[in-house]
Amino acid sequence: MNDLAGKHIVLGLSGGIACYKAAELCRALVKEGATVQVVMTEAAEQFITPVTMQALSGRPVYGSQWDSREPNNMPHINLSRQADAIVIAPCSADFMAKLLHGRADELLSLMCLARPVDKVPLLLAPALNREMWAHPATQRNMAQLAADGAHVLGVGSGFQACGETGDGRMLEPEQLTQDIVAFFQPKLLAGKRVLVTAGPTFEAIDPVRGITNLSSGKMGFAIARAAREAGAEVTLVAGPVSLPTPRGVVRIDVRSAQDMFDATQPQALLADIFIATAAVADWRVANPSAKKMKKDGSGKVPELAFTENPDILAAVASSSRARAGELFCVGFAAESHDLASNAQAKRIRKGVPLLVGNIGPATFGADDNALLLVDEHGSQEVPRAAKLELARLLVAEIANRL
């Protein structure tokens, strides 16, 4: 993806062992299409060399406010005026304290102070030992920096370079990249609660076998991510898939259609938007065996009987909140032919204002898809694109209709 195309990011490194992760972060930002200008403090240069950062960013690194390469000798002004965002990663305890007091005795803090606060956001990725993180001074500084308009990314928790375990780790480069991408997305669903179902379901035949389908969950996970990026609180009820949970999304793992139904019902009472992307099994085995079914050599085959599963979407869409317009429901339809007419019929049958049609065999497992948005007025094609891109479009469509 090129989620940061056209963005110019000033990546500031203050001194800390997490500087080694800044190299990966720089690379990930460039991969997403950003141009990256690195600025390092003297302390940061103890941990990683400007040579490394220059090679990865493709630009000479700045480290001194007396840098004569700048015609006006004002790198703090020039660098901060060009940036779409300043990201400090790692942000040390000392650097936080400097920012808090508006100190400006070296280039990085000087540049942060000189930035136009309304135009150039400041994103901080703290990296501290757990005791340093928990210290009242740090917590006080963090709260004040947030009140001054800085955005704090993280922190992570886990094993620390000092050998201790706890909060204060810098987020991983991949997580920071996702957070920076999310930061730039328009907050179309701020304050909204979104519930998403995703993936296949698994209906047990016996303790080791079952019936499932080819849904990968990618579209639903992309929608959960896009809704989160748009500022919503997102709960994702996921069937058996091995996809990573999108940043900031609450995930509930389920297996069968009945599990998915049971997990979804209470969540739907809290949601403003319900998006049902899961490929839910229509039937479950009525007579699953408690023990593994064995061949007995007689050639006799087991007989399976089926019971219909509850329809999660139809149940939520017919709830009093949905009927009162407090909960906007969106369904999906994976068809193999006659998409427009089948999808419109399904929309009416499910009782939802918006149904998203796609051709099942062409989307299952793929990273891209093409959609057909169907509402009471008719249908609108959304051409083939990456699922995350489609998910963002769908989020914008939904936000428009609220």
354 belongs to the binding site for ligand C5P (CB under 6 A): no
Which one among 29, 48, 313, 395 touches ligand C5P, defined by CB under 6 A?
A: 313
Radius of gyration of the chain (CA): 25
Strand segments, DSSP code E, in 326-367 are 328-335, 354-359
Cα distance between residue 136 and residue 259, in whole Å: 43
Active site residue 162: yes
280 belongs to the binding site for ligand C5P (CB under 6 A): yes
Measured from the CB of residue 264, what is the shortest distance to ligand C5P in angstroms? Answer: 8
Q: Which of residues 136-195 bind ligand C5P (CB under 6 A)?
A: none
H helix or E strand, kind and range, residue 165: strand 165-169
**Cβ(232)–Cβ(273) below 8 Å:** yes
222 belongs to the binding site for ligand C5P (CB under 6 A): no
Residue 167's alpha-carbon distances to 123, 155, 160, in angstroms, are 19, 7, 9
Number of residues located near ligand C5P, criterion CB under 6 A? 15
Measured from the CB of residue 275, what is the shortest distance to ligand C5P in angstroms? Answer: 8
Using omega within 30 degrees of 0 as the cis cutoff, is the peptide bond preceding 90 cis? yes
The SS3 call for residue 178 is helix
Which window, 85-93, 204-212, 274-282, 285-293, contacts ligand C5P (CB under 6 A)?
Answer: 274-282
Measured from the CB of residue 280, what is the shortest distance to ligand C5P in angstroms? Answer: 3
Q: Which is nearer to ligand C5P, 172 or 311 (CB)?
A: 311
Q: Which is nearer to ligand C5P, 202 or 332 (CB)?
A: 332
346-353 CB contacts, 8 Å cutoff, 24+ apart: 347/374, 347/375, 349/314, 350/311, 350/313, 350/314, 350/317, 351/314, 351/317, 351/318, 351/322, 352/313, 352/317, 353/328, 353/329, 353/401
278 belongs to the binding site for ligand C5P (CB under 6 A): yes
**DSSP H stretches of helix in 83-172:** 93-101, 107-114, 130-134, 136-147
Which window, 12-20, 183-191, 234-242, 307-315, contacts ligand C5P (CB under 6 A)?
Answer: 307-315
Q: Which is nearer to ligand C5P, 177 or 256 (CB)?
A: 256
Measured from the CB of residue 252, what is the shortest distance to ligand C5P in angstroms? Answer: 15
The SS3 call for residue 198 is strand
Measured from the CB of residue 94, what is the shortest distance to ligand C5P in angstroms? Answer: 51
Measured from the CB of residue 214, what is the shortest distance to ligand C5P in angstroms? Answer: 14
H helix or E strand, kind and range, residue 38: strand 35-40
**Cβ(57)–Cβ(11) below 8 Å:** yes
Q: Which is nearer to ligand C5P, 197 or 369 (CB)?
A: 197
Q: Which is nearer to ligand C5P, 91 or 223 (CB)?
A: 223
Which window, 15-23, 26-34, 311-319, 373-381, contacts ligand C5P (CB under 6 A)?
Answer: 311-319
Say if strands 165-169 and 156-159 run parallel, antiparallel, or are unpaired: antiparallel
Which candidate in 19, 26, 162, 329 is catalytic? 162
Q: Which of residues 57-116 bind ligand C5P (CB under 6 A)?
A: none
309 belongs to the binding site for ligand C5P (CB under 6 A): yes
Q: Which of residues 314-353 bind ligand C5P (CB under 6 A)?
A: 331-333, 346, 350
Q: How many CB atoms lie within 10 A of CB 376?
A: 9
Q: Which residues of 112-139 are buried (b: 16+ CB within 10 A; e: fewer)?
A: bbbbeeeebbbbbbbbbbbebbeeeebe
Contact string (CB under 6 A) for ligand C5P, positions 241-260, x = contact: ----------------x---
Cα distance between residue 311 and residue 129, in whole Å: 49
Cα distance between residue 394 and residue 378, in whole Å: 16
Which window, 9-17, 96-104, 144-152, 310-318, contacts ligand C5P (CB under 6 A)?
Answer: 310-318
Measured from the CB of residue 97, what is the shortest distance to ligand C5P in angstroms? Answer: 50
Measured from the CB of residue 225, what is the shortest distance to ligand C5P in angstroms? Answer: 18
Q: Which is nearer to ligand C5P, 171 or 280 (CB)?
A: 280
Contacting positions for ligand C5P (CB under 6 A): 197, 257, 276-278, 280, 309, 311-313, 331-333, 346, 350
Q: What are the catalytic residues? A: 162
